[in-house]
A and B are shown apart, each in its own frame.
Chain A
Amino acid sequence: MDYTFILQLIINGLVVGSIYALVATGFVIIYKATSALNLAQGEFLMVGAYLCLNLLSKYQVPFWQAILITFLFSAILGVAIERLILRPLIGSHLISVIMVTLGLSSILKALIQLAYGTDTIPFPEVFPSAPVQIGPIPVSQGYLYAIGCVTILVVILTTFFKYSKTGVAMRATASSQQVALSMGISVKKMFAISWAIAAIVSSVGGILLGTIRGGIDMSLSFMGLKVLPVVILGGLDSILGAIIGGIIIGVLENLSGGFIDPLVGGGAKEVAPYIALILILMFKPYGLFGKKKIERV
């Protein structure tokens, strides 16, 4: 068995997996705080990527400023969606919340398609692309930067949730809305902040994916569905689970792409995460780190 081939696959998996982890983190933050299932997470990622691309190539904005503007816009988008669409549906049936995010994803996808068409648009090179030699295998520098960015972001998020006043308030809201309310926390504000954070985190994922792939198109929105196996594996309400789950699913996907695809003629890479999802639901429905909910009458 070719040893470097496996290593190459694992490294690719780690990179993609770390982006899955980011998007899944956004998903989990929203689910934890508002118990809404956001199936439009992939569209957040896509909108972030397209916006950043537009700023970089059309308006020639320097990279750091472009990123900051993208973050700001994503945050506004997240808050607006929470305020206009999700808040009227608080307390309504689960299918309404699922369907409203599906409707939202159609709208965002349609808007992007109307504005940019369906062709792949090249993404400007942000990170140097010359490969670096790690042990026996060459690794693109973009990959290393991507993993670095994700790590930094995860550290920032962890610190935020652990030490900052807002972060603690958000955790309080997640564990009990009523108690949080009685302690003087504005639950509405926490909801809005969690949507904003989720949108920002996803847009980072979009920008990273754009730089790694060298181009973006409508297929970015499928990331939102790829995230479902990740969050189920990690546990729907665990950020740590989302990160570990993301990496596992990314590696799994690439390994099955490398080993099973040649046997069946392609397609296994795409379907493997969903087979994993079914297996996890059968054997460990609350995932690796999810909180077990026990229903009592």
Chain B
Amino acid sequence: MRCGDFKTSYAADMTIFESGTARVMLGLFFCLLFTLPLYVPGYLLDIVNRIGIAIIGAIGLNILTGFTGQISLGNAAFMAIGAFSCGYMGTKFGLPFYICIPMAGIITAFFGMFVGIPSLRIKGLYLAMATLAAHFIVEFLVVKWESVTGGVAGLSIPAPKIGSFSFDSDAKLFFLIFVLAIMSVLFAKNLFRTKVGKAFVAIRDQAISAEVMGVNLLKYKLFSFGISSFYVGVAGALIAYQAKIISPETFPVTVAIDYLGMIIIGGLGSILGSIYGAIFITLLPELLRMATSALAGSFPELVNKLAATKELVFGLLVIIFLIFEPSGMAARWHSIKNYWKLYPFSH
């Protein structure tokens, strides 16, 4: 009987899946996931797609904020840059999506690195304010630069196409989004087994010691901004394809706060946590909508107050998690799992 985790090699410590069972379960999960469009109706599939996009965005933000410790409130602006650059390339130059999406990611990555340059000099709350300011400046530019972004009217984006196959329905987009989401998770998971990822964590834990140990702070902070923004830009591009019409109002500052909420509720510095958080925060308004429509018979005024109720629940959840479970759902899940795995002889 097991009574603890006793690893005897670094390889065992670094492995992504601890046991064969986990691999089998994951295989089953993928089978279930990729047959989802067969039996899930359109509206629910739309939510599932949004979850997939949120996973990519939340992992991106977690790389920067959770793993490298650089607070960014400019997430929504990065997302807008990804969405609009993807939309511009798609509509003006007629580029196919498999070029637009990575290009959107790269453009956003360069923008993110540009915003990240001051991060060597300013840190903590100053960086948070600088990224917030960047958000408002980008919002202003998006509204004003009408030749590229379409201004307040927005930009309508054609469905992504490969050859004669068009991803024009939620079911088809599902495969595009989830293939990208799985690639994102795999890349991020492996990133933190490499030197670069470990340098990020070292910067978060103690920047000065990291520098003494030979981590070039500026280089790795910029790396972190770049990789994180790439993810967020890809998420933005996918939002553009999914929403079909994007305008400056698609990316308000509350989107950035929602994403921060995802990684806090899910777990800062945890890939799995980003996934949990993305699922949870995306489902939250839908669950509330279901609850309110169920109660609409007795409280008809509730339906109009859905947005405010969502805000209220979101704020409460963030505060409760920060006070009682600062490591998020990922840590809670881990401790529950360990308790049962080692039951009854855990120590």
Chain A residues engaging chain B, CB cutoff 8 angstroms:
37, 85, 88-89, 92, 94-96, 98-100, 102-107, 109-111, 113-114, 225, 228-229, 232, 236, 264-265, 267-268, 270-271, 274-275, 277-278, 281-282, 285, 295, 297
Contact = CB atoms under 8 A, between A and B. Distances in A.
A265 B317 CA distance: 40
B268 A274 contact: no
Interface stretch (B78-86, B133-141, B237-245): B133-141
A270 B140 contact: yes
Interface stretch (B122-130, B180-188, B214-222): B122-130
A99 B264 contact: yes
B162 interface: no
Most chain B C-beta atoms within 10 Å of own C-beta, residue among A264, A274, A275: A274
A105 B315 contact: yes
Mostly, the A contact residues are: helix
A228 B129 CA distance: 7
Interface in B120-172: 121-122, 124-126, 128-130, 132-134, 136-137, 139-140, 143-144
Contacts of B143: 267
A278 B133 contact: yes
Contact of B312 (A89, A92, A98, A114): A114
Contacts of A98: 71, 125, 128
A113 B130 contact: no
A85 B322 CA distance: 9
Given A99-B264, A100-B322, A285-B126, A271 B134 contact: no
Contacts of B128: 37, 98
Contacts of B126: 232, 281, 285
Contact of A102 (B118, B125, B139, B318): B318
Contacts of B283: none
B326 A113 contact: no
B258 to A, nearest CB: 10
Interface residues of B, number: 44
| A-B CB proximity, top 6 nearest | A106-B315, A103-B318, A107-B315, A110-B312, A110-B311, A274-B133
Contacts of B133: 228-229, 274-275, 277-278, 281
A281 B134 CA distance: 12
A184 B326 CA distance: 32
Contact of B261 (A99, A109, A110, A274): A99
Contacts of B261: 99, 103
B25 interface: no
B322 A103 contact: yes
Nearest to B258: A106
A275 B136 CA distance: 9
B308 interface: yes
B308 A110 contact: yes
Given A103-B314, A232-B129, A281 B118 contact: yes
B65 interface: yes
B130 A277 contact: yes
Contact of B315 (A92, A110, A275): A110
A149 B303 CA distance: 42
Contact of A100 (B121, B268, B318): B318
Given A37-B125, A103-B322, 16 more contacts: A85-B319, A88-B323, A92-B326, A95-B260, A100-B322, A103-B261, A103-B316, A105-B315, A107-B315, A109-B308, A110-B309, A113-B305, A274-B133, A277-B129, A278-B133, A281-B130
Contacts of A104: 315, 319
A267 B323 CA distance: 39
A254 to B, nearest CB: 17
30 contacts: A85-B319, A85-B323, A88-B323, A92-B322, A95-B69, A95-B268, A96-B322, A96-B326, A99-B322, A102-B260, A102-B315, A103-B317, A103-B319, A103-B322, A106-B315, A107-B315, A110-B310, A110-B311, A113-B305, A228-B132, A232-B126, A232-B129, A267-B143, A274-B132, A274-B136, A277-B130, A278-B134, A281-B122, A282-B118, A285-B122
